[in-house]
Amino acid sequence: MIFGEEKDGALVPYGQYWRLGANAPTEITFSKDVKFAGMPVSAGSYRMYAVPGADSFQIVLNSEVGSFSGAAQPDYSLDVIKVNVPVSILPAETEKFTINLSSYPDGINLDFVWDFVLVRVPVTVQ
């Protein structure tokens, strides 16, 4: 089990920090100001992390970039934005954690996929 309750042995327990990467948090760079799940974000580079839940994930952009943090918790005072996005359950399993980008007329979808879970964050240029 990838996502679930800690007591059930989930690899990524609900309600706990997850760095969205194996050995270090994934970083994302926006060359223009964007709306991230409808919330304004200035152009720049950010670390991404999540707090998973059964029905939604909180996705966080953090301004601490460029330094290796390994499994360390982020400096939460540098969180720039926190958004809650719904979980979709997929019919087929994705074995490896995957980040996909797909375009749509107004922007892109930033998809986090693992196990049977899809978390989609719409990103549009402001």
Distance CA 81, CA 76 (A): 11
Q: Is 0.75 topped by the overall pTM? A: yes
Per-residue pLDDT tens over the stretch 56-76: 999 999 999 977 666 678 899
What is the number of domains present in the chain?
1
Q: Number of C-alpha atoms within 13 angstroms, CB side, residue 74? A: 27
| Whole-number pLDDT of residue 66 | 78
- The residue range of the domain holding 44 is 3-125
